[in-house]
Amino acid sequence: MIKILLLIVIGFTVWAVIRAYQRSLDKPSAPARENTVEDMVKCAHCGVNLPRSEAIYSSGDFFCTPEHKQLGKK
Ligand SMILES: [Zn+2]
């Protein structure tokens, strides 16, 4: 019984790691986190500057919010 529980725990861990990895692939070249100074990117809609990790990337442009991503490039 313990073995089954262990398998479930391991399976879940692997799944969580894969999910995290796939999420990191969504962002453009998510640089190794050792970079202390973060890249600033400009929202393609309103032009506000924000850290790349907080920006939403979509087909070559960055956006500050999902709303602006929907509104698209200005
Ligand atoms: Zn914006």
* pLDDT tens string 12-35: 999 999 999 998 887 766 565 555
With respect to residue 33, please indicate whether it lies within any of the assigned structural domains.
Answer: no
Structural tokens at position 64: 């500050």
With respect to residue 60, please indicate whether it lies within any of the assigned structural domains.
Answer: yes
Find the mean pLDDT for residues 33-54.
Answer: 86
Q: Is the pLDDT of residue 65 over 90?
A: yes
CA of 34 to the centre of ligand 1 (A): 27
Q: pTM for the complete prediction?
A: 0.49
CA of 36 to the centre of ligand 1 (A): 24
> String of b and e for 24-45 (b: at least 16 CB within 10 Å)?
eeeeeeeeeeeeeeeeebebbb
With respect to residue 67, please indicate whether it lies within any of the assigned structural domains.
Answer: yes
Domain count, the chain: 1
Residue range of the domain that includes 47? 2-28+38-71
Q: What is the pLDDT of residue 33?
A: 57
CA of 28 to the centre of ligand 1 (A): 18
Paired strand residues for 40? 51
CA distance 6 to 12: 10
With respect to residue 17, please indicate whether it lies within any of the assigned structural domains.
Answer: yes
With respect to residue 57, please indicate whether it lies within any of the assigned structural domains.
Answer: yes
59 compared with 28, residue with greater pLDDT: 59
With respect to residue 8, please indicate whether it lies within any of the assigned structural domains.
Answer: yes
